[in-house]
Amino acid sequence: MAPAIDPDDANGGDLSVGDPQVGKSRLLSRQCDTCVFAPGNKMHLTPGRLHDLVAEARTRQSFIICHSTLPHYMHPQVKPAICRGFADRYDTQALQLIARLFGFVEVDPPEHAPSESNTPA
């Protein structure tokens, strides 16, 4: 069950969904605004890409990290969290182990776009 990107690798960034302060893994409380599992292909994935992502995660008995919580994406201050769309649809060994051993802490997804009121004039 080796991760595709080593969470401790200096080149891969910190992809850990674990919250050391509460001892649980972060899971989005709901799907983000551009969830790849929502109707309409809001992320403009190429045909077959979602299938490939799901197949890889299920083959590894792992999970998908929500794209909106990835480091250096739109919200660098947000910590990685498990995609709610994936967790609601699939039950992998990793998700079962997390649930039984540690539990989840639900976190709200980041807002899709930064508020324009925060932008200096």
36 vs 46: CA distance, rounded Å: 11
| Domain membership flag for residue 117 | no
| Domain membership flag for residue 27 | yes
In this prediction, residue 103 carries a pLDDT of: 98
Q: How many structural domains comprise the chain?
A: 1
Q: Which of 7-11, 48-52, 57-61, 71-75 has the lowest mean pLDDT?
A: 7-11
104 vs 63: CA distance, rounded Å: 13
Residue 26 belongs to domain spanning? 18-107
110 vs 54: CA distance, rounded Å: 22
| Domain membership flag for residue 6 | no
pLDDT at residue 54 tops 60: yes
For residue range 25-44, what is the model confidence (pLDDT) as tens digits?
Answer: 999 999 999 999 999 999 99
| Domain membership flag for residue 43 | yes
| Domain membership flag for residue 3 | no
| Domain membership flag for residue 99 | yes
| Domain membership flag for residue 8 | no
In the 8-state DSSP scheme, what is residue 103?
-
| Domain membership flag for residue 120 | no
